[in-house]
């Protein structure tokens, strides 16, 4: 069904031993929006996104992606998703082009490799080994691999962590292009400014629980009372107001 | 519109199986160390062993002589006989000389002389016979007759001839297991396996690609030591090269599958190294790479004969040195095939992607 939400999860729960990594999390990601999972390290963002990506099985709760379920529609779903993982290091001795070509081969339909190279401004690095790329170029390549199958839904886990400001902006502009063509994005981040710029709606997560959900503007207006009249609040203030802690402590 | 326009002169992507195989091949070719271990090391090893263990007949029997009043006359008697080299040994040094294989036997010059040697050593028993005959003959013992000797050189009877197929078998084992085992664990470590399994890639195709990539370099890898042995060291190749190829292929597949199985769980390079050594070390010793499996007692033989490297080495030697046909080595090939199929099935079940 094409009008099914991109992601619908209800009471998602995951335990690691005694630790509850994800605690009865429920939210819906609409088609065509960019949805942010926001929270400090260890909040359960990665566990949540990996459950949605079908890499982890939840201990309780219900997940639907693009109206399909992992148990029955694994192969179909994989063709329609683009996935970038937080800590993947691509093979260092393969060139950029070889890497893209391999990922492209897994998908029935998708963008051509030259197209991807151009979109991600990796044209000039086509024959460069991955090991010789800068951090920003590597991250662009990782996202390019995720877009190789022209997915309906793109999962990004901390895509700009450790990148310089220019590389971050470059990645953001590629995501804008993807969304302009109707793509849906689910992104985790602990950067407030990134969430404010990229996301239509944000779920703030702490200790595996959903503590706020709304557009960045709504959350800021409702929760981040400006301390100084001349400065509007930020999502950082929202998090402080909700938990009494800083996001990156 | 032709594909040349769509892809702007670049090659389009190929099937996933081909792309995965190419990826593995590139990784191998771009790793100079892997090339050294696969192609250069077996030759260095053969040469060194050939130098260390020359053909037996060429070497005179080394005999130690301790000082004494009759030493000079004993030395004359020994040196006049062919095939004996005499070295002076002090009373204190004789133990060390025997232990280190510098001499096979010590002669204490007296009447009658005393022989000191270890009867458990083959070389020492030969030295005793040679020395005894030489001394008695010099003292005037008459031979009833002397036999006519007809020296025969049986092709393929030298140690080096026997050794080369064993080195080849060992190389097929270690390249397969190290190559596949290490690269998979490294990909798991880099979370690359996790990314692949998150994509629509088929898991079976990934495992198959690892084995296929292994086979591409098998031809040069097997040809290098074989041709080096045949052309440089004069090893006879009595069997057909086609049968040798079949044996190598079967062996390579079975060790590739074992490599997959070994790599199916470990998350660290230390763990996979430990497992690979644990699997391969016993076979280096037991499977007749450097010395014959016949040296081990009968109780161990059922185990030894069931090992894949024993089957591979036996089959290679039978074909190369005895000219065995495919039918003659079918037992070994069947055993190797079993060692390929069962571990592959196990790897498919046990493989950890994340």
H/E run at residue A149:
none
Given this model, what pLDDT does residue A32 score? Answer: 94
pTM of the model: 0.79
- Domains assigned to chain B: 16-52+157-350 (no CATH), 61-138 (3.40.190.10)
Spans in chain B with pLDDT lower than 50: 1-10
B15 touches chain A (CB under 8 A): yes
B1 touches chain A (CB under 8 A): no
Strand order of the β-sheet with A60-65 is A19-29, A7-16, A60-65
Residues of A in contact with B19 (CB under 8 A): 101-102, 105
What would the pLDDT profile of A32-44 be if each residue is shown by its tens digit?
999 999 988 888 9
Spans in chain A with pLDDT lower than 70: 1-2, 224-233, 246-249
Alpha-carbon gap: A129 to the closest alpha carbon of chain B (Å)? 11
Q: Quote the CA–CA distance of B215 and B236 in Å, as a whole number.
A: 26
Residues B255 and B177: beta-carbon distance below 8 Å: yes
Given this model, what pLDDT does residue B55 score? Answer: 55
ipTM of the complex: 0.90
CA distances from B353 to A82, B78, B267 (A): 18, 71, 10
B191 touches chain A (CB under 8 A): yes
CA distances from A53 to A47, A66, B82, B319 (A): 10, 11, 82, 53
Q: Quote the CA–CA distance of B19 and B200 in Å, as a whole number.
A: 14
Q: Quote the CA–CA distance of B295 and B303 in Å, as a whole number.
A: 14
Given this model, what pLDDT does residue A248 score? Answer: 58
Residues of B in contact with A102 (CB under 8 A): 13, 16, 19-20, 22-23
Given this model, what pLDDT does residue B2 score? Answer: 36
Residues of A in contact with B192 (CB under 8 A): 88-91
Q: Quote the CA–CA distance of B67 and B74 in Å, as a whole number.
A: 10
């Amino acid at each position: 069904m094409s009008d099914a939400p991109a992601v619908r999860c209800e009471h998602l729960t995951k335990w690691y031993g005694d630790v509850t990594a994800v605690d009865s999390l429920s939210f819906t990601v609409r088609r065509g929006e960019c949805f942010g999972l926001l929270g400090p390290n260890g909040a359960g963002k990665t566990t949540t996104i990996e459950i949605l990506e079908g890499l982890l099985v939840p201990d309780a709760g219900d997940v639907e992606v693009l109206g399909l379920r992992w148990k029955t529609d694994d192969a179909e779903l994989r063709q329609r998703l683009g996935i970038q993982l937080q800590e993947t290091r691509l093979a260092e001795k393969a060139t950029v082009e070889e890497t893209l070509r391999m990922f492209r081969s897994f998908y029935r339909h998708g963008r051509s490799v030259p197209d991807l190279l151009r979109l991600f401004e990796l044209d000039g690095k086509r024959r460069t080994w991955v090991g010789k790329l800068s951090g920003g170029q590597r991250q662009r390549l990782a996202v390019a691999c995720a877009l190789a199958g022209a997915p309906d839904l793109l999962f990004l886990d901390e895509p700009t962590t450790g990148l310089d400001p220019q590389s971050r902006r470059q990645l953001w502009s590629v995501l804008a292009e993807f969304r302009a063509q109707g793509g849906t994005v689910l992104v985790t981040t602990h950067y407030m400014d990134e969430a404010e710029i990229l996301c239509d709606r944000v779920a703030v997560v702490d200790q595996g629980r959903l503590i706020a959900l709304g557009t960045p503007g709504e959350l800021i207006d409702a929760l981040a009372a400006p301390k100084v009249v001349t400065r509007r609040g930020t999502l950082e203030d929202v998090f402080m107001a909700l938990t009494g802690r800083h996001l990156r402590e | 519109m032709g594909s040349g326009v769509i892809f702007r002169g670049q090659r389009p992507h190929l099937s996933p199986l081909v792309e995965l195989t190419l990826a593995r091949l590139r990784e191998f070719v771009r790793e100079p160390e892997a090339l050294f271990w696969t192609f250069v090391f077996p030759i260095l090893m053969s040469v060194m062993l050939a130098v260390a263990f020359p053909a037996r007949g060429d070497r005179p029997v080394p005999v130690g002589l301790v000082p004494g009043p009759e030493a000079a006359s004993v030395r004359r008697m020994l040196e006049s006989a062919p095939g004996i080299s005499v070295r002076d040994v002090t009373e204190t040094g004789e133990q060390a000389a025997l232990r280190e294989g510098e001499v096979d036997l010590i002669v204490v010059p007296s009447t009658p002389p005393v022989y000191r040697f270890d009867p458990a050593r083959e070389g020492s028993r030969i030295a005793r016979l040679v020395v005894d005959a030489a001394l008695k003959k010099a003292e005037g013992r008459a031979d009833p007759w002397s036999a006519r000797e007809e020296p025969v050189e049986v092709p393929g009877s030298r140690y080096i001839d026997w050794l080369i197929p064993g080195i080849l078998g060992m190389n097929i084992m270690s390249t397969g297991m190290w190559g596949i085992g290490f690269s998979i664990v490294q990909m798991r470590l880099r979370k690359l396996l996790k990314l692949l399994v998150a994509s629509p890639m088929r898991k079976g195709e990934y495992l198959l690609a690892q084995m296929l990539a292994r086979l591409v370099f098998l031809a040069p890898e097997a040809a290098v030591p074989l041709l080096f042995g045949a052309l440089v060291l004069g090893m006879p190749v009595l069997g057909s090269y086609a049968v040798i190829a079949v044996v190598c292929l079967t062996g390579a597949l079975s060790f590739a599958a074992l490599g997959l199985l070994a790599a199916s769980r470990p998350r660290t390079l230390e763990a996979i190294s430990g497992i690979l050594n644990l699997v391969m070390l016993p076979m280096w010793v037991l499977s007749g790479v450097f010395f014959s499996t016949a040296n081990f007692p009968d109780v161990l033989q059922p185990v030894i004969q069931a090992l894949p490297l024993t089957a591979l080495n036996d089959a290679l030697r039978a074909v190369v040195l005895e000219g065995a046909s495919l039918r003659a080595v079918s037992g070994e090939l069947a055993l190797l095939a079993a060692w390929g199929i069962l571990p592959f099935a196990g790897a498919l079940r046990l493989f950890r992607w994340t």
